Structure 1
Amino acid sequence: MKWITREHVKVDRVACPWLIKKFVDKDAEFIFAPADKVMAEAKRLDAIPYDVKDVELGHHGKECSFEAILKKYKLTGDPALVLLGRIVNGADTDNTLYHQAEGPGLQALAEGFRHLGYKDDHALNAAEWIVYDALYAYAQKMVQRGKPAGQFAD
């Protein structure tokens, strides 16, 4: 299946493809387009749009696109993915929904990756997915330790 979002990825537009590829569609193909062309290209290519305005797999209220994907594809039964969603939310939004302590760290990492000179959004995603692998492992460990809201939760 083809999936499409805005180019010049940062937090949610790296986390979502990671989530999709690992848990939704192992054969996913990702397309990154200029913001004003995403919906037209989605229609032309028969691609599923995500993390763009007014789509099912986008921001809703204070929830981020990663969380929309968790809900749509019934992945909320994995408490580690739910925690990872809270961390992504904290990095991608104003962090007022959960006040997730790990969020600003992920935001800093994502910003740093944008300045490493990757040739395109595909290369940036390929490099940065290790961060999400590590955060998922962290989230699994926190859940195992009885801290489903994260290590730094009150």
Structure 2
Amino acid sequence: MPAPDSISADKLAKLVGTPKCPVILDLRTSDDFALAPQLVPTARHISLDAFEAAPQSMGSGTVVTLCAQGHAISQGAAALLRTQGLAAEYLEGGFKAWSEAKLPTFDPAKLPPSNTRTNTIRVTRSRPKIDRIACPWLIRRFIDQDAQFLYVAPSEVERVGELFGATPFDIENVFWSHRGELCTFDVMLAEFALNLPALDRLARIVRGADTHRLDLGPEAAGLLAAALGLSRLYSDDLAQLEAGMTLFDAFFRWARDATGETHNWPTNKVETSNG
């Protein structure tokens, strides 16, 4: 029977990629992390020493701690967080259980260099449409929940990146950009080694909408229409991003849970006979 202060890998996996995903702290030792240098989506890998200051930046949300196999480190850390008024659980079976269930992870080696911020910061062109909303959604939902995004004039993206320690994306001649027929969203999935069927489905839709290859899937035209509509509704790029987060949340949940569902009307039509 599960402990009342624990969460199973399957249950946590259902929260990953959604607005309800908790803060995830990976407390594996450096030796354990070296054996499997991947992270559960959005997890922060921190040492026990750094963990002492972690509650100050947790806010009031739910926290899940994990260690190699779900023993003393993660259980003790969750218990300590609860004494400080936070809702905290530990991952049953730790990273070992997550990995054995073949649940998604990402490669933290592709994260921007660490700096004085605990979050990452990225910069791209202003007036976003598809990729420049899809990529921030992917980052916040699967890589870094607190990531910041700067939207500036196209000619200033690289210079702003240099001045403010921001990683440029979705512009020409940078690492995080289109490659051949792939859009930036595709590139991020590949580089972070994020393997999840729902994300692959979503990537095809994003690619179709962003590169006007609407033949890639009927949903691509719908995403394009919705994205263009949002760009007309919002003059502020960050307000548009927040609205776009909800749009991509919906597309992700469709891609994960509802691709087989159809809808017709009327649903309660009463059949009559001629007898």
* TM-score with structure 1 setting the length: 0.86
Instruction: Give the C-alpha shift of residue 144 in structure 1.
Output: 7.9
Instruction: Give the C-alpha shift of residue 83 in structure 1.
Output: 0.8
2:255 corresponding residue in structure 1? 139
Output the aligned Cα RMSD: 1.7
Matched, 1:5 2:121: no
Quick one: which of 96, 106, 124 aligns to 2:240? 124
Q: Which runs of 5+ in 2 are unaligned?
A: 1-119, 262-275
Instruction: Give the C-alpha shift of residue 120 in structure 1.
Output: 1.0
Q: Which runs of 5+ in 1 are unaligned?
A: 146-154
Instruction: Give the C-alpha shift of residue 15 in structure 1.
Output: 0.6
Segments ≥4 residues shifted beyond 3 Å? 142-145
Deviations 1:55-107 (A, max 9, x none): 121111111111111111111x10101111111001100317x7222111100
Question: Partners in 2 of 1:79 and 1:56 — Cα distance?
Answer: 24
1:20 corresponding residue in structure 2? 139
Give the 5 Å matches for 1:1-154: 1-75=120-194, 77-95=195-213, 99-116=216-233, 118-141=234-257
- The structure where helix makes up a greater share of residues is 1
Amino acid at match of 1:101: P
Deviations 1:37-72 (A, max 9, x none): 101111111111111112121111111111111111
Instruction: Give the C-alpha shift of residue 143 in structure 1.
Output: 6.8
1:151 corresponding residue in structure 2? none
In structure 2, relative to structure 1, the CA distance for the partners of 1:80 and 1:133 (3 Å cut) is same
Question: Partners in 1 of 2:174 and 2:167 — Cα distance?
Answer: 9
Deviations 1:20-52 (A, max 9, x none): 011111121110110011011111111111111
Say which structure, 1 or 2, has more relative contact order (CA 8 Å, 6+ apart).
1
Question: Partners in 1 of 2:241 and 2:145 — Cα distance?
Answer: 15
Question: Partners in 2 of 1:34 and 1:20 — Cα distance?
Answer: 22
Percent pairwise identity? 37
Amino acid at match of 1:27: D
Count residues with an aligned counterpart. Answer: 142
* TM-score with structure 2 setting the length: 0.49
- Structure 1 or 2, whichever has the larger Rg, is 2
Amino acid at match of 1:133: D
